[in-house]
A and B are shown apart, each in its own frame.
Chain A
Amino acid sequence: MTDLKRTGLYDLHLRLGAKMVPFAGYDMPVQYPMGVMKEHLHTRSAAGLFDVGHMGQVILRAKSGQVEDAALALERLVPVDVLGLGVNRQRYAMFTNDAGGILDDLMVANRGDHLFLVVNAACKQADVAHLKAHLSDDCEVTEITDRGLLALQGPTAEAALSALVPGAAAMRFMDVGSFDWQGIPLWISRSGYTGEDGYEISVPDTHVTALAEALLARTGVAPIGLGARDSLRLEAGMCLYGHDIDTTTTPVEANLTWAIQKARRTGGAREGGFPGASRILRELAEGPSRRRVGLRPEGRAPLREGVAILDAAEGGAQIGTICSGGFGPSIEGPMAMAYLPSSLKEGDTVWGDLRGKRVPVVISPMPFHPTNYKR
């Protein structure tokens, strides 16, 4: 696997004793010597530092110079109110296709004179091509390839980052801003993908290692790998693209309707006008035939991706398949997500097929572990 790409933190990962694995074309740390379970719990009780430099960073700038024009252009590709996003604010979005499926999910920030997008590593080439193909008449699409991205997550993230960047403490959940650290320009958002308070920090590659080391030197900050990142996001009920959402799932089926603001819905100021609008608006009105739900299997055995979900303890029919599943260190038990018929409700019991044994599984609210954001 000599063709794997590396982030700017590769050498630091090796120095920290990380176990490296291929992920989305990158050689990435899956865990450090602490191990997945302790890394997960450490992030919930103190602070975890994640290398998310494999993700795509994209600037969208309107040729008119007006950020509103970039927002209106991007709205042609996402079912999200981008125009209503205030300066220095960020929100979650997804690119849809003509069938209403999801091409990728992303974060969109209004940085005053341009939009800043963070997209998934595995999709970034396709996303940039998609943006260029559809928005080049109005916008310049620039992929940022000389900056790393760090996520600092957990209850002591604020103390750790504000020791280096004092202004970070005053930010609220989903605020973004430009800051200076020893003369280095940082683009910071108060967000993340763990359910905890924290930040994502875009930093020039030339200084990503120095910033990571400075953060790791703060009390309570430990490096955390992709293994714990996955169990943290699953406990928080968040989707992983390619597993929980993809081109065959609509945002309504995926239970992401909270991300489709009123302005883009039927009767809204800018109703529709995004790929797949007819299906997505119809599903919003009539309800989808299936929906992504949370599952809590009985006992301690994790039911993982691919496990069949059935409607009876014996016999019966398969009604879905687990798309993400594992053990939640903070909830001390197994958890999973699956798409199940909308007729099923929270509290209903279904059954997972674990190596031929039917395990009772209760449809449960998400997040599985309460989120802890700084509102």
Chain B
Amino acid sequence: MKFTEEHEWLKVEGDLVVVGITEHAAEALGDVVFVDLKDAGLTVAKGDEVAVIESVKAASDILAPLDGEVVEVNPALGDNPALVNEDPMGKAWFFKMKVADLSALDGFMDEDAYKAMIG
């Protein structure tokens, strides 16, 4: 698993990259009440907004970590946004994307580096 500076985790699943937010991020956001996800099929550039998370405190963007195509979004988040707090690293994945080259993931932090970043 890899991690971004925006507190997203990235996991390779076959030829896709699964994207979610870290436990640290979920805790900082507080209780999530709504997740606004773009539709699958969207072509995105790195840094494009793919989802907005609304918590009791504030709205936060989920950005595309890489260029690619969003091929699947997690329907469970629409029905149960609290999943983001309950299982951020597992069931509450946000989207799966197809990227040109999976080796691009090598540029992201591993778990130790991420833990060092959040202190």
Contact = CB atoms under 8 A, between A and B. Distances in A.
Contact of A301 (B30, B31, B54): B54
B34 A300 contact: yes
Nearest to A231: B56
Contacts of B54: 300-302, 327
A304 B59 CA distance: 9
A35 interface: yes
A36 B58 CA distance: 12
A57 interface: no
Contacts of A231: 56
Contact of A300 (B30, B33, B57, B58): B33
Interface string A333-360: 0100000000000000000000100000
A320 interface: no
A31 interface: yes
Interface residues of B, number: 12
A230 to B, nearest CB: 9
A179 to B, nearest CB: 35
A357 B36 CA distance: 12
A242 interface: no
Contact of B56 (A299, A327, A355): A327
B59 A35 contact: no
Contacts of B36: 301
B81 A326 contact: no
B99 interface: no
Interface in B67-81: 81
B40 interface: no
A36 B81 contact: no
A299 B81 CA distance: 13
Interface in A114-166: none
A220 interface: no
Contact of A31 (B30, B33, B34): B30
B84 to A, nearest CB: 12
Nearest to A36: B56
A35 B33 contact: no
A326 B56 contact: yes
A300 B35 CA distance: 9
Closest 8 CB pairs of A and B: A37-B31, A300-B34, A327-B33, A36-B56, A301-B34, A302-B54, A327-B56, A36-B30
Interface of A: 31, 35-38, 227, 231, 299-302, 304, 326-327, 329, 334, 355
9 contacts: A36-B30, A36-B31, A36-B57, A37-B31, A37-B33, A227-B30, A300-B33, A304-B58, A355-B52
Interface of B: 30-31, 33-34, 36, 52, 54, 56-59, 81
